[in-house]
Amino acid sequence: MIRIAVLGDIGSGKSYVAKQFGGPVFNADVEVSKLYRKSRKCYNKLKKTLPGYIVSFPVKKIEISKAIIADQHNLKKVIKIVHPEVRFNMNNFIKKNKNSVIFESVDLPAPFGPMMACTFPASSCRFKPLSISLSPIFA
């Protein structure tokens, strides 16, 4: 298995580039959106952790945004709930596509980029660094 992570800023075209290669693409942003729309488990954890902000299912991104704007520590709380779920989905995706070249689309917003990049262990697969520099499409 070969895993290629396409890294870049929000709106830089990571998913577009990854799709051009024709292999399966894991997009963390899409997975987070699915969790907010479909996961009662995620909703219940977020509602318990942020009771003044998460009011109904499905979770609305504006509710998450308001919680983070109100208190920066809420970002860590959201990450602690959402990232393990995304990682679980990513591992299932990798198992399902174990005989393919896998593309992972990962945002790297500071200061969380280095932390996210470290969640993709290369020890279980052949890994060749690939550098694709992407600038924002709408710049």
- Give phi and psi for 96, each to the nearest 5: -65, -35
Which residues, 6+ apart, have CB-to-CB distance to 2 below 8 Å? 101, 102, 125, 126, 127, 128
CATH code of the domain made up of 2-117: 3.40.50.300
Domain residue spans in the chain?
2-117
Using alpha carbons, list the distances in angstroms from residue 108 to 9, 97, 125. 6, 24, 22
CB atoms within 10 A of CB 98: 11
Task: Please compute the mean of the pLDDT values over residues 98-123 and round it to a whole number.
Answer: 55
For residue 19, what pLDDT is reported?
83
pTM, rounded to two decimals: 0.70
For residue 78, what pLDDT is reported?
95
Q: Evaluate whether 109 touches 9 at the Cβ level (below 8 Å).
A: yes
For residue 107, what pLDDT is reported?
65
Q: Looking at the predicted structure, is the pLDDT value of residue 135 above 60?
A: no
For residue 134, what pLDDT is reported?
47
